[in-house]
Amino acid sequence: MKVLIGVDAGASHSTAAVANEHGTVLVRADGAPGAMRPGEGAAVAARIVETCREALRKAEREIRGDVLIVGAAGVGREEERLALQAALEDTGLAPRVAVTVDGTIALQSAFGDAPGIVLLAGTGSVAWARLPGGDLTRIGGLGAVAGDQGSGYDLARQALRAVGLSVEGRGRRTTLSARVLARLRLSGLGELVRWATLADIPAIAGLAPEVLAAAEEGDAVAGALVDAGADDLATHVRALAERFPRGAEVGVALGGSLLARSDAYRRRVVARIIADVPSAAIRPDPVDPVLGAIQLARTL
């Protein structure tokens, strides 16, 4: 049996799926982050391969496949894409390996070869479009320093600022203070500052559920952060929709861990998109990028 492996390699975790030659997914496995960073091809490839091998073990297959397709964050530049592809080829996990941007597998999963827009919000945020002529283009995906508006990291980073201001008496009172300290098992602002100094981006993004929960409970500070995040994500879609023919219906699909796990945030984002892009046709189901990777693997 031909063994296909598809991977969605993100900033906070990766998902690998093993499928047969017909594209039927047999098992999945979650593992360590697989987003590419310059100069880290071998290390990133090792993490991705370990996730793939866990999926292969669960499928009771040999510890290799026939085709490996990886859609990864951080490979928008050809230099990083080729570096990760070469590192994966060196592992011997599969004789045929292809690495592409995460947007490619997301679009494939949502629309096949048809045009459309995919908005992804997890640790980071980005929107990809396949235009009617077939060209791929994106908005966002600029990273934690220059972009990622509306993402889990963005919400959490702003929440940490709001907590600091509130505790010091320079900002509005917010239940985020108690929520964040309880989540991290910290006793006060001093410990929080130390934690934030040492925390990496995925760890900070892990606080986003507290922001969303506080907003749902009516906390005004959290609610304002969530509303602003939804607006930011909608602007990604609006900017891409302007590149489609005027008046044409534009398919829009949403994915990423943040939007998949929070129905409330997803509803806010969808409402903003509909208000900004009247021609948008929102797909009801969350995007499952790993299925797009498997679909691409069938073509190799």
User: Residue 241: inside a domain, yes or no?
Assistant: no
DSSP 212: H
Distances (CA, A) of 256 to 33, 157, 173, 201: 14, 18, 31, 16
Model confidence at 108, in pLDDT bands (50, 70, 90)?
very high
Q: Is residue 182 part of a domain?
A: no
pTM: 0.90
Number of domains in the chain: 1
| Cβ-proximal residues to 125 (8 Å cutoff; 6+ apart), any chain | 119, 140, 141, 147, 148, 149, 150, 151, 154, 232, 233, 236, 256
CA–chain centroid gap for 212, Å, is 17
The domain in which residue 26 lies consists of 4-108+289-297
pLDDT, tens only, 159-213: 999 999 998 889 899 999 999 999 999 988 889 999 999 999 999 999 999 999 9
In total, the chain counts a number of residues equal to 300
pLDDT at site 208? 96
Quick one: tokens of 171? 């900002």
CATH number, domain of 95, equals: 3.30.420.40
Instruction: Write out the DSSP string of 64-103.
Output: --SEEEEEETT--SHHHHHHHHHHHHHHTS-SEEEEEEHH
Q: Name the H helices within the chain.
A: 41-58, 78-91, 102-111, 143-146, 152-168, 176-184, 189-198, 201-205, 208-216, 220-241, 257-261, 263-276, 289-297
Q: Environment class of residue 24 by beta-carbon count within 10 Å: exposed (0-12), middle (13-18) or buried (19+)?
A: exposed
Mean pLDDT score, 4-17 = 94
Query: 260 with 267: CB under 8 angstroms?
Result: no
Q: Give ∠ CA 141-145-149 in degrees, rounded to 5.
A: 50
In a domain, 88, yes or no: yes
Helix (H, G, I), strand (E, B) or coil at 139: strand
On whether residue 21 sits in a domain, the answer given is yes
pLDDT at 62: 73
> Is residue 85 in a domain?
yes
Amino acid symbol at 148? D
Q: What is the pLDDT of residues 13-22, one digit of tens each?
A: 899 999 999 9
Residue 63 has pLDDT above 80, yes or no: no
